[in-house]
Amino acid sequence: MKFYKKNESVVNDILELIDGRIFSRDYSPLLIDGKKRGHLWTYNDITLAQQAQKALINREEKYRGIISNMNLGLMEVDLNETILFANASFCKMSGYSLHELIGKKTYNLFVPIKAFAIEATIARRKKGLSDAYPLNFLDRNQEEKWWLISGAPLLNDAGVMIGSIGIHLDITHQKEIEKELIVAKERAEDSSRAKEEFLANMSHEIRTPLNAIIGMANQLTKSKLSKQQQFYLDNMLNASENLLVVINDILDISKIEAGKLSIEHIPFNLNELNQKVKNVNTLRAEEKGLYLKFQIDPNIHEFVIGDPHRLNQVLMNLIGNAIKFTEKGGITLRCKAKEFIQPNKQVISFEVSDTGIGMDKNYLNGIFEKFSQEDKSISRKYGGTGLGLSICKALVKLMGGTITIKSKKKKGTTIIVNLPFEKTQLEEVAPAIAIKTPLSLEGVKLLLVEDNELNRLVATSILNDYGAVITEAVNGKEALQKLNKDAYDLILMDLSMPIMNGYEATLAIRNKLRIKTPIIALTANAIRGDRKKCMEAGMNNYLSKPFKEQELVYLIQQTIHKSAAPKKVKIATAPVSENKMVLGNQPLYSFNTIAKIAKGNMAFMQKIRALLLTQMPAGQLELEQAIKQENYETVYAVAHRLKSNAANLEINSLKELMLTIEVLAHSKKEWKKINTLFAEAKPILEAVVELLRNDTSFNSF
């Protein structure tokens, strides 16, 4: 076989043939009689090995080129962190020439600004582990730099680790931006805190005198006034209420922006809420000669779980706006059951339509923006902040609903709010206020802790009219001194006071004096989340200034009622006059709580009575059977239901018995005691049902 060389040169005894094969060659001399007579050639086909080597070289060049073009620094070091190689990008990044780098230790050239565990990094690399980490150091020019280093073991051809290879990305610019963002964030947070602090302080400063103005004006309405005086007084009260609306709007939008406005999930009577909204707005509509219609879908579940306060706020705002911007015609609220999500959930649509001035189509796109009003003349003529709809949209979103608007100029406006609610039963709806009727604080001893003289005067004037006995203290320290000397039924505590504020005073009352007297916080700060702080400090309730007279009296009665320890009384064995069974000298049950919920609606009262006459006997029978079967779950559920029925009828003895049975069933023990308690409860249940059927005083409500 004859070989032809691809070219005349033979380099390193490597031959490339015309057909592309590659051979290496070697020879041995041929000796005959000790003399060289020629030589013997040996050829090896190394085509695959040469191709693999070329491919490897090409790949290395390719990736080195990519790294160079990407401005990534590449550096190789041995096992002792001595630099073996660095590319041009690395030299440029570090400020060192290649000559200055080769043979130097990395930790001598690139000393971290902050503590950095270089030993741990080396140890990981020796274990054959790769990692990535940021390094903050000073370069050759003493400029601060940040690198993101991705390191991996460096292996020789035999796969033995001989060092490390690192790819370096300069992230100095990104770190500078990050620092700027952190500073900007801190400044924004400082600004937000300053804004919140400012609004809280302004709220306090405005609400304090406003509380005195409204309080004194309301006291003045109890006096005999001339028509002109009454006219001036009415206008003063209207102006004060309008100012309060503006303040509340600003505070609400600030709380929403700060994410500090929470939504409650409590049972309430939806029909009652709608009726309350109608009652409040009817007079305003009639004063303008407008009709106000409420159309309630009978398919709506009456008792639901949600946030009645925020729903009331949304409806009051929407109907208030409709009245404000309507000159003739009227307003209609349509409340409809839109759809059922699950068996226990319902979407309810609240549709407020008016025949007012309407809005241009182009303006509707920004209607829910803050401070939004179609033109300045609207604000001058009708007043307002332009925050109402923005707040409504935020509240509806927080409640998991949607709000949409349709309007035509001079044709009126329709706003539709869709909200999801969980359905609940009557016995789960807590009465708004379980108090005596009529409102009275006769003989109730109150300690009023308030530094503002005007506020003390207002509160004292109101509470004296209801028979309360008032003792005043101007700060928390003075309150502690008075509590050391005398006992009180309730404490009204201002939060912002000199020397010792309301929080400090409450903590001292609870932890040092060990006094459990109920405390109601009175505060003009309406943005700081004071309610939660008050409860954590040991207070029982909370009321924002300026408050309405009845709100304060109701809250005092409710708080005292809830805090009173249940009295143990002997159960009578026979009914007495007026078809009432008594405990001691007290009626067995009372419809006062349910009457307050009904607000004079006799149809509602009859419905409640019918429900109780059905539920209580059935509950008694179900509970008795469950106890015989020792079925803890059913006993717990039925006792819970009967406890609620007892609470609605104000039967404290039955309520306490059912509560104890409920607790024991939940803990799954003491069947004997559960039997004993049921034996005590059974005659009460039977007597209540019998007396409810024959109660002739029912129709007096």
d(CA 327, CA 660): 59
Which tens digit of pLDDT belongs to each residue from 36-65?
777 777 888 888 888 777 877 777 776 666
Task: Supply the pLDDT for residue 428.
Answer: 47
Task: Supply the pLDDT for residue 116.
Answer: 66
| Model confidence band, residue 402 (pLDDT cutoffs 50, 70, 90) | very high
Q: Evaluate whether 665 touches 673 at the Cβ level (below 8 Å).
A: no
Task: Supply the pLDDT for residue 82.
Answer: 92
d(CA 648, CA 655): 10
| Model confidence band, residue 432 (pLDDT cutoffs 50, 70, 90) | very low
Q: Would you say residue 431 has pLDDT above 50?
A: no
Q: Would you say residue 570 has pLDDT above 50?
A: no
As a whole number of angstroms, the longest Cα–Cα distance in the chain is: 154
Q: What is the mean pLDDT of the chain?
A: 78
- Which long-range CB contacts under 8 A does 370-373 form with residues at least 24 apart? 370/253
- At the second CATH level, the architecture of 577-700 is Up-down Bundle (1.20)
User: What does DSSP say about strands 303-306 and 412-423: parallel, antiparallel, or unpaired?
Assistant: antiparallel
> Which ranges of 221-344 would DSSP assign to H, the alpha helix?
227-257, 270-287, 308-324
Q: What letters, b where the CB count within 10 A reaches 16 and e where it falls short, cover 493-502?
A: bbbbbeebbb
User: What does DSSP say about strands 35-45 and 22-32: parallel, antiparallel, or unpaired?
Assistant: antiparallel
Summarize the chain as % helix, strand, coil (round to 5). 50, 20, 30
Task: Supply the pLDDT for residue 63.
Answer: 64
Task: Supply the pLDDT for residue 437.
Answer: 42
pLDDT, greater one: 11 or 486: 486
Which tens digit of pLDDT belongs to each residue from 626-668?
888 888 888 888 888 788 778 778 887 888 888 888 888 877 7
Lowest mean pLDDT among 361-365, 471-475, 481-485, 550-554: 361-365
User: What percentage of the chain reaches a pLDDT higher than 90?
Assistant: 15
pLDDT, greater one: 268 or 246: 268
CATH class label, 266-428: alpha beta
Mean pLDDT of the region 515-529: 77
Mean pLDDT of the region 372-391: 55
Query: For the chain, where do the domains classified as CATH 3.30.450.20 start and end?
Result: 71-170
SS3 539: coil
Q: Would you say residue 582 has pLDDT above 50?
A: no
pLDDT, greater one: 161 or 693: 161
Closest CA to 258 of 178, 204, 180, 188: 188
Which tens digit of pLDDT belongs to each residue from 237-266?
767 776 776 677 676 666 666 666 677 787
Query: For the chain, where do the domains classified as CATH 1.20.120 start and end?
Result: 577-700
Q: Evaluate whether 314 touches 306 at the Cβ level (below 8 Å).
A: no
Closest CA to 572 of 589, 556, 588: 588
Which tens digit of pLDDT belongs to each residue from 72-120?
888 999 988 899 988 888 898 888 999 999 999 888 888 887 766 667 7
Task: Supply the pLDDT for residue 56.
Answer: 72
Q: Is the whole-model pTM more than 0.75?
A: no
| Model confidence band, residue 593 (pLDDT cutoffs 50, 70, 90) | low
In this structure, which topology does domain 71-170 adopt according to CATH?
A: Beta-Lactamase (3.30.450)
Q: Show Cβ contacts of residue 22 under 8 Å, excluding neighbours closer than 6 positions.
A: 14, 15, 16, 45, 46, 47, 50
C-alpha angle 254-258-264 in degrees, rounded to nearest 5: 90
User: What percentage of the chain reaches a pLDDT higher than 70?
Assistant: 78
User: What does DSSP say about strands 161-170 and 73-78: parallel, antiparallel, or unpaired?
Assistant: antiparallel
Query: For the chain, where do the domains classified as CATH 3.30.565.10 start and end?
Result: 266-428
Mean pLDDT of the region 344-360: 88
Task: Supply the pLDDT for residue 255.
Answer: 67
User: What does DSSP say about strands 144-155 and 131-138: parallel, antiparallel, or unpaired?
Assistant: antiparallel
Mean pLDDT of the region 129-142: 85
The letter for the amino acid at 119 is E
d(CA 449, CA 499): 12
Q: Show Cβ contacts of residue 607 under 8 Å, excluding neighbours closer than 6 positions.
A: none
Return phi, psi of residue 267, to 5°: -70, 145
